């Protein structure tokens, strides 16, 4: 597989207040994973900055001006989301890194994949609002870029422990982008109920799988069997993955029990769907994940899957009680059964 990692040491320049979980050490972990990949002969590239026009496909002009005004300053955008003097430039690169990843995959031929390791993360950022550590919605900007390049259908899958409210908002009425999220529920940011399925012409093209706290590898395995079926029915030309690792059993923010190998399995399941639906084209983009050891191990495992070193069959198949998954799938079926076979 032709995997390229897109990242930059400049993501170290985004600083949050002391004690904040989205700390600079996360970027150091990303750099360590990228360095190890390069030493094995892998390709690591620097991102470009996103332009105002590219950001404007997702965010309001007035909002972009407000964020631009934070350049060179330390500010609090909400109780959880902060800027430092270099944050604006880092955020432009984070969004641009996804654009670089999408371009690599679309121009790279069959089997091209990208792992985009960035901060600040993005999936909570709404059209006119920063929240949840996020300034620009990196993955949504990437999906809009793919559509602008002519793709008829794009899928965004989000396995972060938190619901990707900003990504959902961006495409809620848009049938060309299928948004699928699994997440702890009820939990921050409060959205992501199974009844949220899209609006108007986009009804049925948002699929939420809310999971009760305590979800295990077996729960996630069962949910992602269904996710893969939805992808097969939708047949996107590209899959974007919001790869947050805060559903890990060791994460300090989430309440789930997913293990490091299971993130590899989930990614491998999605990569297999990409092989079947869209010539292997998949772009994984970092979101959350706040235990540094879990973050490093999960990123390494995902890189191994995406570069073809690790196959789905190489990873242990989970077993055990799946009552949380059963409830989540039943809820999704009750709201989406008219749109998809679940």
Positive or negative: CA dihedral 320, 213, 331, 242: negative
Round to whole Å and give the CA distance between 221 and 16: 34
* Secondary structure letter of residue 68 according to DSSP: H
Is there a contact between 115 and 300 (Cβ–Cβ < 8 Å)?
no
Round to whole Å and give the CA distance between 223 and 240: 18
Round to whole Å and give the CA distance between 173 and 231: 18
**Structure tokens belonging to residue 154:** 């794009």
Please enumerate in sequence order all residues whose Cβ is within 8 A of that of 24, keeping only pairs 6 or more positions apart, or say none: 12, 14, 15, 16
Secondary element (H or E) of residue 165: helix 165-170
Round to whole Å and give the CA distance between 14 and 269: 33
The question of whether 248 is a catalytic residue gets the answer no
> How many Cα atoms are found within 13 Å in the side-chain-facing hemisphere of 26?
28
224-229-235 Cα angle (round to 5):
120
Secondary element (H or E) of residue 303: helix 292-306
Round to whole Å and give the CA distance between 161 and 291: 13
Secondary element (H or E) of residue 232: helix 217-234
Secondary element (H or E) of residue 207: strand 206-211
Secondary element (H or E) of residue 26: helix 25-39
Q: Which of 59, 124, 162, 335 is catalytic?
A: 124
State the catalytic residues.
Answer: 124
């Amino acid at each position: 597989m032709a995997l390229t990692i897109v990242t930059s040491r400049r993501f170290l320049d985004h600083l949050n207040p002391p004690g904040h979980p989205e700390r600079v050490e996360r970027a150091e972990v990303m750099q360590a994973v990228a360095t190890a990949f390069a030493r094995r002969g892998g390709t690591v590239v620097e991102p470009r900055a996103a332009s105002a026009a590219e950001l404007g496909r997702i965010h309001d002009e007035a909002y972009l001006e407000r964020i631009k005004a934070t350049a060179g300053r330390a500010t609090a955008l909400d109780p959880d989301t902060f800027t430092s003097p270099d944050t604006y430039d880092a955020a432009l690169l984070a969004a641009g890194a996804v654009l670089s990843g999408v371009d690599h995959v679309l121009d790279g031929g069959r089997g091209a994949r990208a792992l985009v390791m960035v901060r600040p993360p993005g999936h909570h950022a709404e059209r006119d609002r920063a929240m949840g550590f996020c300034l620009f919605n990196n993955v949504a900007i990437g999906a809009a870029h793919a559509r602008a390049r002519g793709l008829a259908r794009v899928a965004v899958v989000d396995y972060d422990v938190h619901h990707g409210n900003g990504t959902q908002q961006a495409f809620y009425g848009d049938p060309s982008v299928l948004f699928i999220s699994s997440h702890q529920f009820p939990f921050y940011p409060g959205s992501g109920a199974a009844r949220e399925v899209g609006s108007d012409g986009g009804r049925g093209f948002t699929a939420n799988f809310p999971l009760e706290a305590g979800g295990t590898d077996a729960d996630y395995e069962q949910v992602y069997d269904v996710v893969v079926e939805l992808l097969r029915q939708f047949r996107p030309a590209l899959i974007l993955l919001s790869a947050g690792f805060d559903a890990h059993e060791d994460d300090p923010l989430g309440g789930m029990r997913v293990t490091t190998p299971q993130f590899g399995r989930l990614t491998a399941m999605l990569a297999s769907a990409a092989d079947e639906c869209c010539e292997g084209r998949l772009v994984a983009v970092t979101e959350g994940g706040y235990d540094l050891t879990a973050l490093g191990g999960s990123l390494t495992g995902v890189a191994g899957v995406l570069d073809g070193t690790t196959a789905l069959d190489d990873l242990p198949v989970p077993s055990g009680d799946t009552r949380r998954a059963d409830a989540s799938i039943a809820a999704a079926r009750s709201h989406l059964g008219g749109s998809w076979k679940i």
